Amino acid sequence: MGTGRRGLAGIAMATAIVAGAAVTVTTAEALPGGAATIARGDCPAAREKVERLEGHITPNACAFMERQITFGEMATGTPPAPGDLAHPRVQAYLDIFDPEATLWEAGSAAQRGRTTIGTSITNSLRLAPGLTYRGTDVVADGSTVMFGQWNEVTLKGHTVAYPQIARNVLGDEGRTLQARRYYDRAVLFQDTLPESAPTPLFAGITDAGAAGAAEGARAALPAEAGFRARAEEVPERLAAWNAGDTDALLARTRGARLDGPGLAAPLVSEAGKRAYLERLFATADLDLKAGQVAAGETTTYVEWHGTVSVRDGEKTRTGIPFGIVERFGPGGEWELYFDTLPLVATQSEIGTLFRELAS
């Protein structure tokens, strides 16, 4: 994704939606009750550590965020042995989860229970012991928390930084009952394995490339009130994603700047945004369901989760776990978070890439 102020993180090995169109308000203070929200003292330790925290901050949500931040900041030290659930950083990670939790990572089936989740994180930390992250844009909405983070890790001598959304549904004591992680694994290979990495899905798509710089500027239309994830709106937007209806998706986000995986900078022109979505739909047939929604004072997240079918020439790969999170922010942002790797590589090819990365 672009290198703007967003922040979220997660890698294919470790850690792990209301859509609104462009918002004209630029600061939380300008909203009703905004100044009071900023001044309030709920969960001060988390507020100090993240860039933006909005929503209904329950004690459970606060406890979750504090654990999430602790793991993100913690040094790994000596990497854990395979399956070493007693390693201090593995313990800090497992403290986030309920004993019966499920964790869905990009492109794979959900993991269940602390033993399975802990074994997975040991593998992640062995591959990337230097993984750290900071909280960026976080919205809590009751028992749902969308935790934006910015990950940084060193792989084969290259620093790789990327955003992630960690979507969590919380239970008792703020421990995660169900987690999903949204990030693009393809970024792990672009600089570290340049000869082996697949061609990026959205290569060549920019405002200038899609419509020409001058035309792109003219095509940036005024913001209009758009999708707010009201009950009656969710089925319509879900249907648009599943049908590959670019017109419907753009109509409800007119004037917003689109950022997403594979973009060096957000797209502002209608032509650029259309080219991006059409590239996605030319490759993938989505079969998604409505997931969680989290709405704050200025920021809203909407989650769509299910499977994708990918067209590889004359062949079609079906039933691939897939999901998208949309973020609508206070400055007219429309951001998408999803994994492009299974759209450009088979599961066998992905396994080969990770083995090469670990060698």
Q: What's the confidence (pLDDT) of residue 252?
A: 83
Q: What's the confidence (pLDDT) of residue 28?
A: 38
Burial classification of residue 277, based on how many CB atoms lie within 10 Å of its CB (0-12 exposed, 13-18 middle, 19 or more buried): buried
Order of strands across the sheet with 111-112? 52-56, 132-141, 144-155, 158-170, 176-182, 97-104, 111-112
Q: Round to whole Å and give the CA distance between 254 and 267.
A: 12
Q: What's the confidence (pLDDT) of residue 313?
A: 79
Burial state string for 77-101 with b = 16 or more CB within 10 A and e = fewer than 16: eebbeeebbebebbebbbebbbeeb
Q: Round to whole Å and give the CA distance between 51 and 47.
A: 8
Q: What is the pTM of this model?
A: 0.86
Q: What's the confidence (pLDDT) of residue 222?
A: 44
Taking CA atoms, 233 is separated from 18, 122, 239, 302, in Å, by 10, 41, 10, 12
Digitized pLDDT (tens) for each residue of the chain, 359 residues in all: 654 444 333 333 333 333 333 332 323 344 334 444 444 568 999 999 999 999 999 999 999 999 999 999 999 999 999 999 999 999 999 999 999 999 998 778 899 999 999 999 999 999 999 999 999 999 999 899 999 999 999 999 999 999 999 999 999 999 999 999 999 999 999 999 999 999 999 999 999 744 444 344 434 444 444 567 778 889 999 999 999 999 999 988 888 999 999 999 999 999 999 999 999 999 999 999 999 999 999 999 999 999 999 988 789 999 999 999 999 998 889 999 999 999 999 999 999 999 999 99
Question: In terms of Cα–Cα distance, which of 286, 249, 285 is closest to 270?
Answer: 249
Phi, psi of 273 (to 5 degrees): -65, -40
Q: Give the per-residue SS3 of 10-34.
A: CCCCCCCCCCCCCCCCCCHHHCCCH
Strands (DSSP E) along the chain, which ranges?
52-56, 97-104, 111-112, 132-141, 144-155, 158-170, 176-182, 257-259, 284-295, 300-312, 315-328, 333-337
Q: What's the confidence (pLDDT) of residue 226?
A: 56
Q: Which amino acid is at 129?
A: P
Provide the greatest CA pair distance for the chain: 58
Q: Round to whole Å and give the CA distance between 126 and 304.
A: 31
Instruction: Give 328's contacts (C-beta < 8 A, 6+ positions apart).
Output: 18, 19, 20, 21, 22, 23, 226, 227, 253, 256, 299, 300, 301, 334, 335
